Chains A and B, each alone.
Chain A
Amino acid sequence: MYKLILKMAWKNSFLRPARTILVITMIAVSMSMMLAIQGLYDGMVKNMIDKNKRSDSGDISIYAKDYRVQKDIKYRIKDAKTIKEDIQKIDGIKAVVLRLQAQGLLSTARKSSFASIHGIDLKEEEDFGKFSEFLKEGEISLEKRSAIIGVELAKTLKVRIGSKLIFSTQDSSGEINSIALRVRAIIQTTNIGLDNNAIFVDIKKLHEFLGVNHKHATQIAIMIEDNRLISKIKQMYPNFDVKSFLELQPMIKQMKDMMVIFNSITFFIVMSVVFIGIFGVVYVSILDRIREFGIIIGIGMQYKYIRAQIFLESIIVGLIGYISGAFLGLILLIYLRDYGLDLSSFSDALEMWGYEAVITGTIKVSYFTSTFGAIITASALSVLIPLRKIKKLNPIEVIKAEK
C-alpha cells in the first residue's frame, strides 16, 4: 500500500510543477546561501585562530608565573630548554618553540614607537607555524643584525626593507641597552598584537643583548594533536602559568561564540523560509484537492494513509530542495575554500580586527547534516496544520458540495 501512497505523493508533488519547482528553487537557493555564509563565518574564525596559533600562542603556551602581567624578563623560565625537550617526548606533540620577549622603544631617525622584541629561531618557527607564509615584503632572514617587523608597526615608523632601527630596553641586569637592526622583511600575521608592535630577531642575539642565559625563555609555545594534552601539561607544570589558546585569546573565543550566534540566526531565518515555503505549497495543494480527500475518506481510505501521503509530499519537496541546495552549496563552498571572497576594498577595517581581506570558507559535514535534519523537520512540521484540516474534514460535506 505504501508503494502506492509514495507514487500518489510523488505525482501530487508535481501536479502543479511550476509551483513546486519555485519552492524547490527557493529552498535550494536560500540553503546554498546559508551554507556559504556558514562556511565564510567559520572560515574567518578558523583563519584567525590558525594564524594566532601559528604566529604566537600555539595550542598551549607556558610562561613563568606573573610574566603575562608584568611583561618583564625577570619573570622568565630558566630551565626552558629542558622543559621543551621533556614536552617533545610526549605523544601527540606536534611542535614546541622557545621565545624570548622584551618590551622597549623602537626608533628610526625620525620616529619612535613602543614595541616588543621577539627572539625566535626561524627554523623552529617554520616547523611550528610556517612563519615564512606571513611574509608581506622582503626576505625571511635573521642573519647578522636583520630584523622582521610587523606590518602596522612598519607603517607607524614609516620603515621599508633596508631601513635602520634602534631598539632600546632594559637588560637582565637592569641597564638600558640598545641594539641596531636592519629591516629584512615585513610580515602580516593578522594577529593584531604582533602586526602592531612586534619586531623579530634571532633568539641567540636577543639572549646576548638582554644578557640572558641561552637556556632561558619567556614563552614555550606548543602545538598539539589532541586537546586532552592541555590538562596533562597543566598538571605536569603546576609552578608555571600554562594556558590554552582560548584562555590566552578570550576575544577570539567571544568571536567564535558570536559567529555561532550569527550562524544560528541565519539558520533560523532560512529554515523559517523553508517552513513557510513548504507549508504554502502543501496547504494550497490540499485546498485544491480537498474534494479528492473527502471522497477517498468516503470510500474508506483510512486517515493514516492520507497522513502518510501528505507527509511524503512535503518530504519529497523538502528533500529535492535539500539535494539541490546541498549541491549548489557545495559548489559555492568549494569555490570559497579554494579562491575565497575578495573583500580587499574593506581590507583596512578587516585587518584592524584581525581578519584577512580575502576570506576563505571552510566545509564541514555538520553543515549538511544539520541542514538535512532541519529541512526534514521543517517539512514534517509544515504539514501539521494542513493535516488538521483533513482530519476535521467530513466526507459528506464534500459529497454534498459536488451536487
Chain B
Amino acid sequence: MIKLQNVNKYFYKNDPREVHALCDINLKIEDGEFSLFSGSSGCGKTTLLNAIGALDSCDSGEIYIDDTEITTLSESERTELRLNELGFVFQSYNLVPVLNVEENIGFIMKLRGFSNKEIKERVLEIASLLEIDNKLKLLPNALSGGQQQRVAVARAVAAKPKIILADEPTANLDSANSEILINMMRELNEKEGVCILFASHDELIRENTKRVIELSDGALVNDYKY
C-alpha cells in the first residue's frame, strides 16, 4: 500500500520563479491497483510519480510504501528501495544499448541476485506474455519503438516488484502500439497482481485504468474509481 500525507513539493523555492508543484497531497493507493495520475501538462503528475518512486524528494509531508517512510531514507536506501520494491517504465524506453533484449529484461533480476536459471525462466515467461520472445537475442537498436517499450515494461515487471510506475509510457508510440502495451500491462496487473501507476494524459490509458486521480496546479482535485 502507498500512503501520502500532506505532501508538498516546491520548485525554485524562495525564488521569484517559485512553483508549488505538489500541494498538500493526501492519498492512499492499495496493492494491485491499476491507476492513473491525470491532468494537463505541468499539473504535477510526473512530480508525484517521481516522489512515490523515491526518485525525487519532497519539501514536507510523508510518503509510505507499506510501512516504510521513504522521504527520510538515505540515497543508498532509496536506491535499494527502487531496486527491490519498484519498477519503472519511462517515456524514452531507456534500455541498456549494449545488452540484448534477454539481458535487458533480466537486468534488475540480476541486480537483485536471482539465479541464472530463475532469470532465464522468468525472462521467457514475461517475453512470451509481451510477445517479444522471438527478439531475445537482438540489441535494442534493432527493435521498433513499440517493441522497445515492451522490453522496458518486461524489465520493470520481471523481478516482480510491488509497484510499477509508468511515466507517459505511450507518448512515443502510435495508437496501435499504445493499445497493445496497455492491454499487456492490464494483463500483467491482473495476472501478477502488480500495482501499476501511470502518469499520462493519454485518453487510451484513462479509458483502461480502474482509478483516475486528477491533479491541477499540484493539487489533487478528483479521484474516480471505476
Contact = CB atoms under 8 A, between A and B. Distances in A.
A395 B55 contact: yes
A15 B99 CA distance: 12
A11 interface: yes
A292 B111 contact: no
Nearest to A291: B94
Nearest to B84: A300
Interface in A212-250: none
B83 interface: yes
B14 interface: no
Interface in A1-52: 1, 4, 7-8, 11-12, 15
Given A292-B96, A292-B97, A298-B82, A4 B90 contact: no
Interface string B83-119: 1101110111010111100010001101101000000
B79 interface: yes
B26 interface: no
Contacts of B96: 8, 292, 296
- Secondary structure of the A contact surface, majority rule: helix
A12 B80 CA distance: 25
Interface string A379-403: 0000000000000000110010011
B113 A8 contact: no
13 contacts: A8-B98, A8-B99, A291-B94, A292-B94, A292-B97, A299-B87, A300-B82, A300-B86, A300-B108, A302-B79, A303-B79, A399-B55, A403-B91
Interface in A334-360: none
B144 interface: no
A399 B90 contact: yes
B79 A402 contact: no
Contacts of A12: 98
Interface string B141-180: 0000000000000011000000000011000000000000
A297 B103 CA distance: 17
Interface of B: 46, 50, 55-56, 76, 79-80, 82-84, 86-88, 90-92, 94, 96-99, 103, 107-108, 110-111, 113, 155-156, 167-168
A300 B163 CA distance: 14
Contacts of A295: 90, 94
Contacts of B87: 299
A305 interface: yes
A269 interface: no
A265 interface: no
A11 B82 contact: no
Contacts of A11: 98-99
A302 B74 CA distance: 13
A7 B103 CA distance: 11
B111 A402 contact: no
Contact of A298 (B76, B88, B98, B111): B88
A1 B110 contact: yes
A299 B167 CA distance: 13
A260 interface: no
Contacts of B155: 299
Contacts of B110: 1, 4
A302 B55 contact: no
Contact of A4 (B83, B86, B103, B156): B103
